[in-house]
Amino acid sequence: MKFYDCSTAPSPRRVRIFIAEKNIKIETVELNLMKGEHMTSDYRSKNPNLEVPLLELEDGTTIPQVNAICRYLEDIHPDNPLHGRDPVEGALVEAANTKIQLDGFMAAAEAFRNFTPGLKDRAMPGPHNYAQIPELAKRGLLRLDNFLADLESHFESNEYMVSNYFSVADISALVCIDFAKWVKKPIPEDYKNLHRWYGTVSARPSCKV
Ligand SMILES: N[C@@H](CCC(=O)N[C@@H](CS)C(=O)NCC(=O)O)C(=O)O
């Protein structure tokens, strides 16, 4: 297997942490997005979405999308389950992970990509160019405020994203919170519950990547 990564980008970091939690070894191919190494015809033939991460299997099958890659790795390495230990927990992890993707990652990406000068006409990743919309950057920042506030409320009565169980949703939330710092949205100082959870999760050796 080969894992197509970019060590500075948030989405592939979610997979790197997942791989480290599972303690599996996968050959990594580093792509420099700033240099456009994901825009080559060779990479396009593997991933027409022109995004990282990507997992390439021995038989040439390519799996794009963080969630699909993590699900596949879970299925072939079921020890130390990160997608729930029973069907109910599995559903709750899926719900939490989807919400982080929609309310957290989309908001941070909206804020970052619609404002960063180097991403003019690249307001969305992928094969199609889109102009920046400054209003979307502003809305992204507001959505991040709410995302962080909702997490603070959640951690008033929960140890992790799903009750007392560390899951792939915690990995997603951690990476999203670090991504939000790119647009100057750190965890507010007085969010003591979110700081407690962040301290616990970011101290895991897997999360140092
Ligand atoms: N929905 C995708 C998002 C992947 C994504 O946004 N990747 C970014 C890096 S964090 C990317 O490849 N960007 C390429 C670009 O900006 O052209 C997933 O979950 O894998």
pLDDT in tens, 25-47: 999 999 999 999 999 999 999 99
- Among candidate residues 76, 95, 126, the one where a domain is terminated: 76
pLDDT at 113: 98
What is the distance in A from the centroid of ligand 1 to the CA of 201?
23
**Which among 4, 6, 8, 11 is the best mutation to test ligand 1's pocket, defined by most ligand atoms within 8 Å of the CB?**
11
Distance CA 73, CA 83 (A): 11
Do residues 63 and 142 share a domain?
Answer: no
Average pLDDT, integer, range 162-188: 97
Host domain of residue 21? 2-76
Do residues 112 and 68 share a domain?
Answer: no
81 lies in some domain:
no
**Does the pTM of the predicted model rise above 0.95?**
yes
Summarised one tens digit per residue, pLDDT across range 87-104 is 999 999 999 999 999 999
CATH of the domain at 137: 1.20.1050.10
Average pLDDT, integer, range 103-127: 97
Do residues 118 and 52 share a domain?
Answer: no
82 lies in some domain:
no
- Among candidate residues 22, 57, 76, the one where a domain is terminated: 76
CATH of the domain at 10: 3.40.30.10
What is the distance in A from the centroid of ligand 1 to the CA of 192?
31
Do residues 32 and 116 share a domain?
Answer: no
**Which among 6, 15, 34, 51 is the best mutation to test ligand 1's pocket, defined by most ligand atoms within 8 Å of the CB?**
51
